[in-house]
């Protein structure tokens, strides 16, 4: 059985790839904190969401009553370089103004972003593991 064909596993795998790429970009920010002219970068969350919408079969809600509400969301396209998982590297929103050397990396802000990203990566990998355990249990291979 190819678990990559199960929608939840596919989404979780793609999210882990996105978070891994984001961690790499944030790490580069820290590594270049003293590089003159370096601009802090991040990975655009919106482009990952757009990528998921384009790769996952759309799911529509059943409307059984005309009084049901419909929800429509739109997100403006992001700019920057795109990766294989649909994430785009962009200048970091909310980054401080560059200093005299042209560098705008705030180490405290980068550490906060790295910590939040690592926590989300841990959470998503736990979801992946728990779902795999659930399938193993259902197949009678608990352990």
**pLDDT of 107 above 70:** yes
pLDDT tens across 54-101, in order? Answer: 655 555 556 677 776 655 443 333 334 445 444 566 777 666 777 788
User: What range does the domain containing 32 cover?
Assistant: 3-138
Residues 58, 48, 5, 137, CA torsion sign = negative
Q: Is the predicted pLDDT of residue 129 greater than 70, yes or no?
A: yes
Q: Would 39 be classed as within a structural domain?
A: yes
Which residues does 67 contact at the CB level (< 8 Å), separation at least 6?
Answer: none
In 67-106, which residue ranges form alpha helices assigned H by DSSP? none
At residue 73, the pLDDT reads: 40
Number of domains observed in the structure of the chain: 1
Asked if residues 43 and 113 have their Cβ atoms less than 8 Å apart, the reply is no
- Say if 60 falls within a structural domain: yes
Q: Please list the residues that pair with 91 across neighbouring strands.
A: 41
Asked if the structure places residue 143 within a domain, the reply is no
**What mean pLDDT, rounded, does the chain reach?**
77
DSSP codes of every residue in 104-141: ---HHHHHHHHHHHHHHHHHHHHHHHHHHHHHHHHTT-
Mean pLDDT (whole number) for 1-12: 76
The pTM of the full predicted model, rounded to 2 decimals, is 0.64
């Amino acid at each position: 059985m190819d678990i990559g064909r199960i929608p939840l596993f596919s989404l979780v795998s793609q999210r882990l790839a996105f978070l891994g790429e984001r961690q790499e970009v944030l790490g580069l920010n820290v590594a270049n904190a003293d590089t003159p002219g370096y601009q802090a970068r991040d990975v655009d969350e919106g482009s990952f969401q757009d990528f998921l919408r384009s790769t996952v079969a759309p799911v529509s809600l059943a409307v059984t009553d005309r009084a049901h509400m419909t929800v429509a969301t739109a997100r403006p396209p992001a700019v920057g370089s795109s990766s294989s998982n649909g994430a785009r590297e962009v200048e970091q929103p909310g980054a401080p103004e560059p200093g005299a050397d042209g560098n705008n990396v705030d180490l405290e802000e980068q550490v906060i972003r790295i910590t939040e990203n690592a926590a989300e990566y841990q959470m998503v990998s736990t979801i992946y593991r728990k779902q795999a355990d659930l399938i193993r249990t259902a197949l009678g291979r608990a352990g």
